[in-house]
Structure 1
């Protein structure tokens, strides 16, 4: 990666748009210098932010980089163009921040809007890479071949990061290397083995608990040799599986034998119980037959006692049936007689109503005639007034439209008059200034030796001068054209205004004339009426006309109803008189039918018929009682005959002794069943425990072998072997990288220190067995063959050692990251702690590195470096933000 151009807008200490062209430095070492806080490190931050959405030190994100000096309307973004493998890419990125919107709030205050974070990538073919922010970030990382952590370790060595790797504890170096060299895979192997060993240990513990639980469930036979053996096995912490299973097998065999014997004894008792039950049940059925026979004979005696009452009830039912047939004829005769009486009364009432109704109808006809004459006289007058008022109302709408148009024309008139005035003043001022500057304009064309067109002199000692800002002839002519144009617009608008005013006055005059025709009684000052008054008058007239019509129609409908009712009642009276004649005939016929019915049902007198009518009510209940009695007699007689046949040749018997014997056998059977069930349940539990223990002991052997193997691997991989160094698998792999870094660092450190000392990784035999170790760093002095801790180095020595480590780390990371092309490296500060000799050596190393890499930039404010490095990017700090420029000597 080689920088081509960096553009920063409102970013960090740079208020405006700052552009840095790196093509001015082709090859070698260059210095970025300037005052403290001017914005030297911000250049590194901008490059890292553009590529990875992170700053070089990782302490600030893009949202914090909005410049405090930037105007509100300047956008914040970074645009970085770089070449990689001879292909040029451009990435532009802006953070999320607040800016002033183009529109203000309703109260005039500024309205802030949020600018969302965006990124775009321009590919070498000039096309923009398509995708979301995440996709573009991934594409940039794919192009670079490095992630942000690797990039800041080998290409952007940020300020303060020199000593991190040098003074870090073994634990901290492990964390750094895990991120840089992606050794988390080895840590995952360690953790996987540890978790696997833990799960196997838990499984072994669970297996032991399962075995103990199943052994405690076993119930051997009391006072048996197996019981004593089983108690001894339970007393052991974990007995041998073979002993447990053999003993349990014998316990199950003995239990099964006892269970079968108990089952056979219970079956024998059951057989005896069944036989006795059959004997008792058969004799109880015979005894029950004799009991039922005696109960049936008692019921026959009860029915015989009820026989006299039932015969009387039968007579009542028969007489009631004959009377009910005659009563139908009687009811019809009485109903017709009552209907005849009612109809006679109704005919009399109808005749009286017709007399009164005729008088009401005559009076109502006179009233309707009067209402009709009044309506015919008033309606034409009201209709004419309503039509006239409806014709007036649309005039108000036309007047409102004309008034609105008049007001609009008035505003336009005022506006164009003001514009005409300003255009005229502008023209007069420019014309006056132009006229006053004519001498200066003529003097501009005068040359020595040429005659003046005004005085003719060829000598011009004091020429008139044209004042700054004086208008030219073209500008004056443009002002005149603008003035004339505004005058033309004013004339047109004034004509439209006068026309609108005339139309409004004409329409108002027409309305006054129309109002005057309606209200002739008003004087000239009161001719004008408001629209609401006209509407009110119109509504009042319409209501008056509608009420008169409704009143007439109501009276007319009432008269029609009276006439209709009179006609209806007249027709009804004729029908009623005809029906009265028919009912008289019908009454005489029904009376004859009733008398014939009495004779037919054999009632000698009317009194005997009246007595028989008493049995009509309740006749259904009497018939039901008779039916139930007859059915009961038949049922009891039939059952008595059947029971006599079934009990023939049999005798009842006493069963007390047999029942006592059955009760004793049932109790014995219950005890024997409980004994069998107890043995069965115990044997089922023992057999189930035997099957489970067989499986558990089989699992324990394989689990134990697997746990011993995995636990040994876990202790080895995690560095937990007793008495050995705490060196885990990931640290062991990282030591290989660490030694490569130290070897690469020593190639430069030996030159910086004139072979005074080098760095070395502490040997395993010298590592502590307490805590994590394996990545400890020592200093080996070549002169006196001594070793000391790296933290004892002085400030200058620490800088040289840490710079060497950073450069060595960059070499190794670059090699392990794949075929990447790293042509540029930036180093931030640290040279102030070196003496002149050490600084010269460090610069020589970096210059050599620049020859290898292509371009190396150093951030520093040390003055001595300015004389040693020719190419410099100088950053200046001002009150309005920082600026950068190249100094190329």
Structure 2
């Protein structure tokens, strides 16, 4: 990459647009960038780095992009950097502007970037130009990295040797140098591999320890038999377990296998004992159940006997109750209710007559109300008919007044059409007037154009005449030089030549004269065309004016031949207003007539509605008369019936209701007493029957229990569970003893079963964990060997970086021995404990000893660090696809060198730049100003920095 031009505007210390044409310095040699402190020398390098990568080149003093805007810039001044560079014989231009705030604006100006490719394509997105990175990994490289083949950090190390950065590389510890080389040589993959191996090692170790711990915990859950239960097998298992704990690394899996086999043997013994205990427990429980069943049957027999005695006593008591209830029922059923029934029927008939009277009274009142209501409706219909007749009369009189309305509407329509026809004619005349005015305006414009063209024609004519006159005078001078007294003049024939013409200076050539003549002819042609166009338009305008006067005369019946066009326009304006007003008045009059027509139509419709309603009302009146007569008849009939029924009632309604209530209560009491006696009798009889049935069932159950008890006693005697001489107390003691034996057997059974299940589960888990332990141990041993190799005292990444470091030192020593007169040589430190394989020493040939690089003086350190930086630049170029270094910049540091060392450094850099490499040096050293011819002077002013080139 070789910069061609660099342009900065409002960038850093440069306020005004500043362009540095690097192409003027050629393709090789040294260029000195010098100036006052703080003037902006390093800003040039920052601008190149920012243009390419979007970041500056200033090492630890690197500034954020938003800090790059010039402090001198106002709100209207845009901050940007534009770099045109050459790469592989093709030119590219990249323009970049950072994000920044402008004074007086609340919104931040967004960052922009644009790149022009050799084929004219423009890239306008940061992703296309700078690429994309996620989590430190380059997802997409971008156009800049694709072209140059190096990252920003590599660019800083090989092309932009920033102030202090290469000295940092010289004095760095191994860890710090690891970070630098990791970025430059992309050894992050080896570091990541180390970290991945370390992570895998810790994970495998954790898994192995976890499996081992779970195995030990599982062993702790094993339940060994008590001493004496399994004899030597128990002791053997305990010893094996302890041996397994003691020997963590020796024969762990073999001992674990033995323990699993012992557990299976224990389980087999326990299963046999469990079966025996289960059989014994079942036998004891069977005997105990039979004995308990016999005792329960004895108890049930005793309870049955007591129940039979109780039921017998109850039966005797219920027989007495049944006899008493039967007598009370027969007495209540013998009472006669016939007189009360007759009285009740008589009272009910009288109350029915009262009910009919109430209904007749209501019907009579309703009939009377209906008749009176119908009378009122007839009166209302009469009033409504009179009112409609009055409305009909008023509407008829109003319609007579509007009979001439159709004639008036037709007359209004005809007048409106006449005026609208005149309005159309007037619109046509106004359109003609506007067209004439437009043509007059065009004529004014053409006349103005003609004036300018005439002026240009006069100027062209004047120029042509001047050139032609000078040309002819020059020709005359040439002829005059050839005239001889006594010889005739070829123009006038005279033989005397008292005042011959002379040549003039600055004579135009023949082509210039022809060109002036051609321009004159063109100007004349333009003027002629414009004059011809004006004449045509004037004739057309005059024709249209005459036509307008003729038509206006036809309209107004007067002559307009002598009238001015302005008078015609004014008259048209007045006439338009008059016609518009007249049409508006007619429209308003028409609207009024239309409203009257609408009211007329509405009244006609209303009249028709009234006539229809009158016809309907006559029909309703006839119907109401009929309804009134019918209702009157109903009312008179209801009143007659009511009077007849009132004479048949002998007592008041309240007295009859009171007598009926007393009669009903007496009859209900007689009925309740009879029903209660019957219910008592039936209940007593039912209870007696039920007690008899219970007694019979108890006798049958007693006989059944007696037979069953006898059978159980014989069976117990046969099975020797019971002897014939035992009493109840002895049987109870035997039952308690059997229960205790059963509980003891069951406890032993549960202990064996729980231990067997637990140990079987432990055996299954230990078999699974044995496989897991075997796999975990195998994986752990493998990864431990790899981890020891990759992350030991001398790490894998450090080894890779050491190879690069040896190459860098070899390249650096080639220049260091020259610049330091064979006094020093850089050497890499030996591999030591603590991963210090990237330490750097310097071998002093004067003392024949190694020295720490920090013991070098300031000048010696600068030369050594410069050699290191140049060596690093060589190696980075070699390992990045043959990247070709065409431009390098070195920032400061030369002021610490003595004259001889400075001479050697300049000689070395000159030798480097003899090929196709341009080396730029930032320095304020006076000796460099004398030794280097190509210079860029940076001047500091009150309005920012300015650059001056010396080539």
TM over 0.5: yes
Residues 479-878 of structure 1 aligned to structure 2 (within 5 Å): 611-614=666-669, 648=703, 651=706, 661-693=734-766, 707=780, 710-711=783-784, 713-720=786-793, 727-764=794-831, 767=832, 769=833, 771-878=834-941
Matched, 1:342 2:389: no
**1:402-453 deviation line (CA, Å, top 9, x unaligned):** xxxxxxxxxxxxxxxxxxxxxxxxxxxxxxxxxxxxxxxxxxxx9xxxxxxx
CA spacing shift, 1:607–1:618, aligned 2, 3 Å? closer
What SS does the corresponding residue of 2:8 show, helix, strand or coil? strand
Match of 2:41 in 1: 40
CA distance in 2, matches of 1:585, 1:287: 87
CA distance in 1, matches of 2:681, 2:639: 48
CA spacing shift, 1:669–1:330, aligned 2, 3 Å? farther
Q: Is the contact made by 2:241 and 2:259 (CA closer than 8 Å) also made in structure 1?
A: no
CA shift, 1:8, in A, is 2.3
Q: Is the contact made by 2:32 and 2:928 (CA closer than 8 Å) also made in structure 1?
A: no
CA spacing shift, 1:128–1:229, aligned 2, 3 Å? closer
CA spacing shift, 1:311–1:659, aligned 2, 3 Å? farther
From 210, 217, 228, the counterpart of 1:213: 217
CA spacing shift, 1:207–1:28, aligned 2, 3 Å? same
CA distance in 2, matches of 1:323, 1:657: 81
Matched, 1:270 2:285: yes
CA shift, 1:837, in A, is 2.6
CA shift, 1:744, in A, is 0.3
CA spacing shift, 1:607–1:823, aligned 2, 3 Å? closer
What SS does the corresponding residue of 2:192 show, helix, strand or coil? helix
CA shift, 1:344, in A, is 3.8
Matched, 1:81 2:84: yes
CA spacing shift, 1:99–1:640, aligned 2, 3 Å? same
Q: Is the contact made by 1:93 and 1:118 (CA closer than 8 Å) also made in structure 2?
A: yes
CA shift, 1:152, in A, is 0.7
CA distance in 1, matches of 2:771, 2:934: 80
CA shift, 1:585, in A, is 11
CA spacing shift, 1:343–1:574, aligned 2, 3 Å? farther
CA spacing shift, 1:356–1:129, aligned 2, 3 Å? closer
CA shift, 1:57, in A, is 1.9
CA shift, 1:50, in A, is 1.9
What SS does the corresponding residue of 1:80 show, helix, strand or coil? strand
Matched, 1:64 2:67: yes
CA distance in 2, matches of 1:55, 1:89: 20
TM-score, length of structure 2 as denominator length? 0.62
CA spacing shift, 1:193–1:344, aligned 2, 3 Å? closer
What SS does the corresponding residue of 2:803 show, helix, strand or coil? helix
CA distance in 1, matches of 2:731, 2:339: 67
CA spacing shift, 1:311–1:123, aligned 2, 3 Å? farther
Residues 414-453 of structure 1 aligned to structure 2 (within 5 Å): none
CA spacing shift, 1:302–1:115, aligned 2, 3 Å? farther
Match of 2:259 in 1: 245
**1:810-843 deviation line (CA, Å, top 9, x unaligned):** 1111112223233221211222222233222222
What SS does the corresponding residue of 1:16 show, helix, strand or coil? coil
Match of 2:9 in 1: 9
CA spacing shift, 1:176–1:610, aligned 2, 3 Å? closer
CA spacing shift, 1:371–1:588, aligned 2, 3 Å? closer
What SS does the corresponding residue of 1:114 show, helix, strand or coil? coil
CA distance in 2, matches of 1:613, 1:366: 65
Q: Is the contact made by 2:325 and 2:681 (CA closer than 8 Å) also made in structure 1?
A: no
Higher mean displacement: 233-242 or 184-193: 233-242
Q: Is the contact made by 1:323 and 1:612 (CA closer than 8 Å) also made in structure 2?
A: no
CA distance in 2, matches of 1:587, 1:674: 104
CA spacing shift, 1:156–1:672, aligned 2, 3 Å? same
CA shift, 1:779, in A, is 1.5
What SS does the corresponding residue of 1:861 show, helix, strand or coil? coil
CA shift, 1:745, in A, is 0.6
What SS does the corresponding residue of 2:70 show, helix, strand or coil? coil
Q: Is the contact made by 2:5 and 2:83 (CA closer than 8 Å) also made in structure 1?
A: yes
What SS does the corresponding residue of 2:50 show, helix, strand or coil? helix
Matched, 1:159 2:173: no
Q: Is the contact made by 2:371 and 2:631 (CA closer than 8 Å) also made in structure 1?
A: no
CA shift, 1:46, in A, is 1.6
CA spacing shift, 1:359–1:576, aligned 2, 3 Å? closer
What SS does the corresponding residue of 1:856 show, helix, strand or coil? strand
CA spacing shift, 1:51–1:214, aligned 2, 3 Å? same
What SS does the corresponding residue of 1:115 show, helix, strand or coil? coil
Of the two, which has the highest radius of gyration? 2
CA shift, 1:191, in A, is 3.2
CA spacing shift, 1:713–1:127, aligned 2, 3 Å? closer
CA spacing shift, 1:214–1:610, aligned 2, 3 Å? closer
TM-score, length of structure 1 as denominator length? 0.66
Match of 2:25 in 1: 25
CA shift, 1:704, in A, is 5.7
Match of 2:99 in 1: 96
**1:672-723 deviation line (CA, Å, top 9, x unaligned):** 2122101221233334444545665676677567656644553443334xxx
RMSD: 6.7
CA spacing shift, 1:671–1:155, aligned 2, 3 Å? same
CA spacing shift, 1:266–1:314, aligned 2, 3 Å? farther
CA spacing shift, 1:95–1:777, aligned 2, 3 Å? same
From 122, 141, 144, the counterpart of 1:140: 144
What SS does the corresponding residue of 1:97 show, helix, strand or coil? coil
CA spacing shift, 1:132–1:741, aligned 2, 3 Å? closer
CA shift, 1:578, in A, is 5.9
Q: How many pairs were matched up?
A: 763
CA shift, 1:805, in A, is 0.5
CA shift, 1:735, in A, is 1.6
What SS does the corresponding residue of 2:17 show, helix, strand or coil? strand
Flag structure 1 segments of 5+ consecutive residues without an equivalent: 101-108, 381-445, 447-490, 510-560, 592-605, 721-726
